[in-house]
């Protein structure tokens, strides 16, 4: 009986966490990134497909971009996002074609 109750609690927590997780696309929109960037065309900032092409095949690309966004290096402002959110957004950008 105790194991069934514990399993129910764990399942509930996992479901709740999944409900609040946002995709990279959703985060790019909600954090305002799409005001200056687009997936395909240059706006104020570079197109994400161009960013992906620049970093294609480079080891440590994800960590480099996340560090730049957190510090505001090479980007007009620091991005206000958690590490997990930044990782999700950068993964999406690097997957752009």
The answer to whether 36 and 47 are in contact (CB under 8 A) is no
- 3 part of a folded domain: no
Question: CA–CA separation, 60 vs 8, rounded Å?
Answer: 39
Question: CA–CA separation, 30 vs 42, rounded Å?
Answer: 19
Residue 39's domain is classified under what CATH number?
1.10.760.10
Q: Is the pLDDT of residue 96 over 70?
A: yes
Count: domains in the chain: 1
Structure-token pair, residue 80: 């206000």
Q: What is the distance of C-alpha 23 from the center of its chain?
A: 7
Question: pLDDT (tens digit, 9 = 90+) per residue, 20-30?
Answer: 568 999 999 99
Question: pLDDT (tens digit, 9 = 90+) per residue, 43-89?
Answer: 999 999 999 999 999 999 999 999 999 988 888 888 899 999 999 99
Torsion sign over Cα 37, 20, 78, 63: negative
Mean pLDDT, residues 13-25: 61
The answer to whether 39 and 47 are in contact (CB under 8 A) is yes
Beta strands in the chain, from DSSP E residues, in sequence order: none
**Could you tell me the pTM of the whole model?**
0.76
- 13 part of a folded domain: no
Structural domain span for residue 65: 23-94
What confidence score (pLDDT) does residue 69 get?
92
Question: CA–CA separation, 22 vs 8, rounded Å?
Answer: 24
Q: Is the pLDDT of residue 39 over 80?
A: yes
What confidence score (pLDDT) does residue 74 get?
83
């Amino acid at each position: 009986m105790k194991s069934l109750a514990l399993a129910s609690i764990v399942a509930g927590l996992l479901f709740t966490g999944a409900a609040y997780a946002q995709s990279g696309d959703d985060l790019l929109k909600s954090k305002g990134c799409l005001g200056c960037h687009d997936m395909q065309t240059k706006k104020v900032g570079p197109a994400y497909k161009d960013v992906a092409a620049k970093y294609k095949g480079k080891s440590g690309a994800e960590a480099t971009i996340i560090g730049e966004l957190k510090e505001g290096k090479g980007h007009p402002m620091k991005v206000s996002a958690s590490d997990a959110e930044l990782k999700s957004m950068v993964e999406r950008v690097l997957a752009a074609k």
